[in-house]
Amino acid sequence: MRTWPAPHVPSIPGRGGEVKVVDSTSGSLVVAAPGPVATLYVCGITPYDATHLGHAATYIAFDLLHRAWLDAGLEVRYASNVTDVDDPLLERATRTGQDWEQLAADQTALFAEDMTALGVLPPHTYLGAVETIPTIATTVSRLLDEGLAYRVPVEAGAGGDRPELGDVYADVSVDPHFGSVAGLDHDQTVALFAERGGDPDRPGKRDPLDPALWRRERPGEPAWDAGQLGTGRPGWHIECTVIAQQALGASFDVQGGGRDLCFPHHEMSTAHARALGGEGARVHVHTGMVGLGGEKMSKSLGNLVLVSTLRAAGADPMAIRLATLAHHYRDDWDWDDRSLPDAEERLGRWRAAVSGNGGPDAGSTVAAIREALAADLDAPAALRAMDTWADAALSVGGEVEGAPGVVARALDALLGIRL
């Protein structure tokens, strides 16, 4: 899968401190990556609808982590996926009469355009589920051979000409650490599993929470031949396990995504990683949910504000980015009528403030932005530090030659805001 072009990250004097984030598993502030190489996997989109503000906020949050790591002198390896075959994508294509592959290709391209406009650094490894099927199939076969997965009979009409092979499910009971990522009790997990794409009531499973690893061919659905697994397509959680492992190794620093992915997706993908002999992510970071009118913005609910719609209406992508940075990444918040105008106004003030040759000294402002980011990616605190500098520049001015340039480059490098 092709990524989008990398924006330039200006170099700025000095270096940022060690970055700490809140780990969802422990709930405590931890060092995100010990270094010198920092490895990050952020779950990518399911491309059946265009990038909304919730997606944008999530990818921008992890972009701050990426930038803070670079500023701290770490070498970053960033991987992500595109879930370019899965139930919601196929359902949408069927409902709208589109070709599923075309839908996925169009929406993946639009996502890349949005990420480019928003100044998000691209992943170094970017893989689609479809292109990874051979590796996923080999991995699922291995889990089956090792007794960590089992076959479940399929309904009549499923499974093509080898229905007896059945679907393949992971056995969660073999993993003593299962449940450690989200830390929920059994009843909560079963309810969430059903709500978020799982099938707790599927007959033939050993445990209601066992997730699908390989889904056999169904009439009208795309399927790929995978030897002893038979024709079918991969489950969702194993997709991310395999892509992360292939790009970053069996154990890596941070897995990220929106909070709706904590359970079951990150619980399951980490359990799969353990079954394969690794650790998966050492730290799990989750963003809050962006809503509209009091409800989570979601493709399935349809209450979306799309980045591409705002751009087409002439919104400055930097103002869209700034609007998301006005909220802490772990908070839930609502996009509303003031979000964009407030960000545009702020951006305008900052642009006016950096337009002169001289200004107030930049040193303490750059330090404050760095400190804010190192302390759990506190973007709102970083914006307040910039507001303080801009207010001073506009009211009393300043004599330090080149200070506006230093501040502007720091904003670009650390927050991805190009003035």
CB of 90 to Zn ion, least distance (A): 17
Half-sphere exposure of 1 (CA within 13 A, CB side): 31
Query: Pick from 261, 275, 325, 343: which binds ligand 5CA (CB under 6 A)?
Result: 261
Query: Pick from 144, 192, 289, 343: which binds ligand 5CA (CB under 6 A)?
Result: 289
Residue 257 within binding range of ligand 5CA, rule CB under 6 A: yes
Residue 260 within binding range of ligand 5CA, rule CB under 6 A: yes
Question: 59-98: which residues touch ligand 5CA (CB under 6 A)?
Answer: 81, 83
- Of ligand 5CA, Zn ion, none, which one sits near residue 65, judging by CB under 5 to 8 A according to partner kind? none
Which residue, 19 or 290, is less far from ligand 5CA as judged by CB? Answer: 290
Which residue, 48 or 169, is less far from ligand 5CA as judged by CB? Answer: 48
Instruction: Tell me whether strands 295-296 and 280-287 are parallel, antiparallel or unpaired.
Output: unpaired
Q: Per CB under 6 A, which region of 67-75, 93-101, 288-296, 409-417 contacts ligand 5CA? A: 288-296
- Of ligand 5CA, Zn ion, none, which one sits near residue 25, judging by CB under 5 to 8 A according to partner kind? none
Which residue, 54 or 360, is less far from ligand 5CA as judged by CB? Answer: 54
Residue 40 within binding range of ligand 5CA, rule CB under 6 A: no
Half-sphere exposure of 396 (CA within 13 A, CB side): 8
State the Cα–Cα distance between residues 157 and 166, nearest whole angstrom. Answer: 12
Residue 43 within binding range of ligand 5CA, rule CB under 6 A: yes
Residue carrying structure tokens 């003030």: 349
Residue 298 within binding range of ligand 5CA, rule CB under 6 A: yes
Cis peptide preceding 36, ω within 30 of 0: yes
CB of 371 to ligand 5CA, least distance (A): 26
Residue 45 within binding range of ligand 5CA, rule CB under 6 A: yes
Which residue, 234 or 404, is less far from Zn ion as judged by CB? Answer: 234
- Of Zn ion, ligand 5CA, none, which one sits near residue 298, judging by CB under 5 to 8 A according to partner kind? ligand 5CA
Tokens, residue 377: 């990616």
State the Cα–Cα distance between residues 184 and 190, nearest whole angstrom. Answer: 10
State the Cα–Cα distance between residues 208 and 199, nearest whole angstrom. Answer: 7
Rg of the chain taking only CA atoms, in angstroms = 23
Contact letters for ligand 5CA, residues 230-249 (x by CB under 6 A): ----------x---------
Q: Per CB under 6 A, which region of 100-108, 296-304, 391-399, 403-411 contacts ligand 5CA? A: 296-304
Using DSSP's 3-state secondary structure scheme, residue 122 falls into coil
The footprint of Zn ion (CB under 5 A) covers: 43, 240
Q: CB of 117 within 8 A of CB of 134?
A: no
Neighbouring-strand partners of residue 375: 20
- Hey, what amino acid is at 396? V
State the Cα–Cα distance between residues 384 and 407, nearest whole angstrom. Answer: 13
Tokens, residue 133: 């099927």
Q: Per CB under 6 A, which region of 147-155, 213-221, 285-293, 350-358 contacts ligand 5CA? A: 285-293
State the Cα–Cα distance between residues 377 and 237, nearest whole angstrom. Answer: 27
- Of ligand 5CA, Zn ion, none, which one sits near residue 270, judging by CB under 5 to 8 A according to partner kind? none
Which residue, 64 or 240, is less far from Zn ion as judged by CB? Answer: 240
Residue 255 within binding range of ligand 5CA, rule CB under 6 A: no
Cis peptide preceding 264, ω within 30 of 0: yes
Quickly count helices (H) and strands (E) in the chain: 13, 16
- Taking the CA atoms of residue 356, residue 361, residue 366 and residue 371 in that order, the dihedral angle to the nearest 10 degrees is -150
Tokens, residue 1: 């899968």
Q: Per CB under 6 A, which region of 49-57, 146-154, 273-281, 366-374 contacts ligand 5CA? A: 49-57
State the Cα–Cα distance between residues 274 and 271, nearest whole angstrom. Answer: 5
Cis peptide preceding 163, ω within 30 of 0: no
Q: Per CB under 6 A, which region of 51-59, 227-235, 341-349, 382-390 contacts ligand 5CA? A: 51-59
Which residues contact ligand 5CA (rule: CB under 6 A)? 43-46, 54-55, 57-58, 81, 83, 240, 257-258, 260-261, 287, 289-290, 296-298
